[in-house]
Chain A
Amino acid sequence: AQSVTQLGSHVSVSEGALVLLRCNYSSSVPPYLFWYVQYPNQGLQLLLKYTSAATLVKGINGFEAEFKKSETSFHLTKPSAHMSDAAEYFCAVSGVETSYDKVIFGPGTSLSVIP
C-alpha cells in the first residue's frame, strides 16, 4: 500500500533561516504530490502540487518543492522563515497505487519559528 512519511514531527527554525520539511513516498510509479499547510483550528490550505510537469514546483508564500524520483522524495523548502510560517504541514499523495479517488496524507510536521 502506498504510504507517505514525513521525517520529523516537529521542526524549529530561527526567523530568516532556511526551512526544510521532508516528505518521502512509497510508489513505483510517480504519483501526484501535494503540500498543505494548516493553521490552528482551520482547514488545510494548498501550498503547491506536483502533477508530472516540472520537477521543481513553486507554491504560495515563497515555498517550493522538488520532486526527485530516484529518492522518492518531495521535500518542501523556503529560503527564509517568517513568523507567520509557524503551522502544521502535511505532505499528501494520490495516484495509481492508491487508486485515484483516495488521497494519502503524511502524519504532519509542526513548524515553529523562533524570533
Chain B
Amino acid sequence: DGGITQSPKYLFRKEGQNVTLSCEQNLNHDAMYWYRQDPGQGLRLIYYSQIVNDFQKGDIAEGYSVSREKKESFPLTVTSAQKNPTAFYLCASRDRENQPQHFGDGTRLSIL
C-alpha cells in the first residue's frame, strides 16, 4: 500500500543533542511538508519542499533543518538550537495544489 512512513514513533532528546526524524513516502508525490503540533495550537509549518534538492522555510523554521536528496525522503533534524522541541511532528506529502495532503502517523519528541 502507498503511504507515508514516519519513524520512530517516539523519540527522546538529551540537552545539546541533535535528533533526526525520518519521513519516507512511496506515493511518488513531488511536495513534502513538516508540521509541528502542540496541544491546542493546530499545525504549524516548519519546512516544505516541492522538488528534490530544494526546500523553503515555513512559519517556525528556527532550530530545525531539512534535506531533500531523494524524492521519497524528507528527514527533519531538530537541532540543539530548538529550545522547546517537545511536540508531535507530522510529515505530509501531496501531488498537486488542488489535491489534499497525505499524512504520516507522526513522531512524538520529548526531552529527557
Cα–Cα, bound, A94→B105 (Å): 22
Contact of B98 among A9, A32, A106 (CB under 8 A): A32
Q: How many residues of B contact A (CB 8 A)?
A: 28
A42 and B106 contact, Cβ closer than 8 Å, known pairs A49-B100, A94-B97, A100-B97: yes
A101 and B31 contact, Cβ closer than 8 Å, known pairs A34-B100, A41-B106: yes
**Interface positions of A from 100 to 115, Cβ below 8 Å from B:** 100-103, 105-108
A44: chain B residues within 8 A (beta carbon): 43, 90, 92, 101, 103
A92: chain B residues within 8 A (beta carbon): 101
Cα–Cα, bound, A46→B95 (Å): 14
Binding site for A on B (CB under 8 A): 4, 6, 31, 33, 40-43, 45, 48, 50, 56, 58, 88, 90, 92, 94, 97-106, 108
